[in-house]
Amino acid sequence: MSEWAIREATADYARDLAVCHIESWREAYRGLVPDHLLDAFDIDRRTRQWARIITEFGPAGNLETTGTESYTTKMAVDDTRDPGLRVLGFAHAGPPRDEPRPAERELFALYVRAAQHGTGVAADVMRAILLPDIDTALWVFEENPRARNFYRKFGFAADGARRIEPLSMASEIRMIARRGTTGRR
């Protein structure tokens, strides 16, 4: 039995999401993203951002939309931990930002605390966020082989698109999981 539960994010978890988000960036991207950027992240600011995202774009905030046009944030939560440490990992997805759209959905974020690597948390969160029969795109740092290998396990493959991530100036590649009818052969 796992030590976590998968849940839809609510505003009650905004601070926990912020802590997980910031700590995951610091753990995963030290050496890839300039230290001054990682050190400048502010938990209170990120908490406000997550509260706004959940309130405006979460399930209650997009009642008129369904399926691929909906935003969703799934979390792996351990409620036996102290607040601020309860979110072990999370994923956030919604309508793609790229035009033309390379897929029906985009995975904007998938972050898991380093202490949870290899435990199954990331796989559980990924299974919860992906929609069956829906093509999903994501952007990943080119110099992050661990993440790229993880995404490959879920059917993602690089499609040749590249860009520079504006905050870090690191190179990213786009990967797409073809699950929908457009991707079937």
pLDDT(31) > 50: yes
Specify the pLDDT at position 106.
97
- For 12, the domain range is 5-177
Q: State the total domains in the chain.
A: 1
- Is residue 158 situated within a structural domain? yes
pLDDT by residue (tens digit) across 139-163?
A: 999 999 999 999 999 999 999 999 9
Q: Cα angle vertex 172, ends 171, 175, to 5°?
A: 155
Distance of CA 11 to the CA centre of its chain: 17
CATH number at residue 27: 3.40.630.30
Q: What is the pTM of this model?
A: 0.89
Let me know if residue 182 belongs to a domain.
no
Q: How far apart are the C-alpha atoms of 164 and 38, rounded to whole Å?
A: 17
At 3 the pLDDT is 87
The answer to whether residue 185 sits within a structural domain is no
The verdict on residue 109 lying in a domain is yes
Sheet holding 87-94, edge to edge: 5-8, 72-77, 87-94, 105-112, 136-141, 171-177, 156-164
Confidence of residue 108 (pLDDT cuts 50, 70, 90): very high
